[in-house]
Amino acid sequence: MIKIQPHIIQEGSVQFQLGEQKGNQIIYDFPKMLIYLEAKGKLLFGKNFKIYSEDEAILYKLCIYFIRDFETCRKLKIDPNKGILLSGPVGCGKTSLMQLLPFIVPHQNQHSLIPARNITFSFNKSGFKIIEDYGNNGFYCFDDLGVETTGRHFGKDCNVMGEILLSRYDLFLKRKIRTHTTTNLNAQELESRYGIRVRSRMRELFNLIAFDKESLDKRK
């Protein structure tokens, strides 16, 4: 059931209003979105979770994308029809943000966040069916792309996530189903890991949003 006022979110006894409804349009307020994201983050990840001021530029782009603000996306050179590739150093908060951000748009289809290494483990056990399962259906965010090992099933090696990304590209062309991913790798490392063909498809699949390489490890 579609929520009538998706910009008004209830968490326990506290109500968060993320913007104002004008006619059939919601005008979101970024500072209010940040307040909600920090509160929801504390509920999900513990009381020490916080939104860092140095991450607000990244968060602004991500929020604009998730709320489907097409005009601002165009100004920021973000293609709302593509997925997000969120890159940055270990511990900068990529996974937490991709878990958090769907909560600001409860009326939209939600992606499932799946660690890439878990997919490879499943391939090792179940074989090529796993590539079909994740490549041909569903709305996913593949977490920590590039840390997974090469898959091996009955003596055959396979770059599992590379094959899945090729399938997701075909899925994107045919059905416009987006894919998200997070990674610690830069463009050159991704190309080395998955090859030129996959890297080329990734440019068409994703908007690259990158944390500064000097971003703090927030887990320390």
pLDDT computed for residue 2 by the predictor: 43
pLDDT computed for residue 218 by the predictor: 77
CA-to-CA distance for 7 and 153, rounded, in angstroms? 47
How would DSSP label each residue in 104-169?
Answer: G-TTS--PEEEEHHHHHHHHHHHTTHHHHHHHSSS-EEEEEET-SPPEEETTEEE-HHHHHHHHHH
pLDDT computed for residue 213 by the predictor: 84
Residue with tokens 């590379």: 162
Average pLDDT for residues 21-28, to the nearest whole number? Answer: 90
Average pLDDT of the residues of the chain? 93
pTM over 0.75: yes
Question: Which of left, alpha, beta for 106 (phi over 0: left; psi -120 to 50: alpha)?
Answer: alpha
pLDDT computed for residue 154 by the predictor: 84
For the chain, the domains span 57-210
Lowest mean pLDDT among 2-6, 18-22, 125-129, 188-192: 2-6
CA-to-CA distance for 164 and 171, rounded, in angstroms? 10
**Which of 3.40.640.10, 3.40.47.40, 3.30.56.10, 3.40.50.300 would CATH assign to domain 57-210?**
3.40.50.300
- Would the CA dihedral through 170, 171, 177, 183 be positive or negative? negative
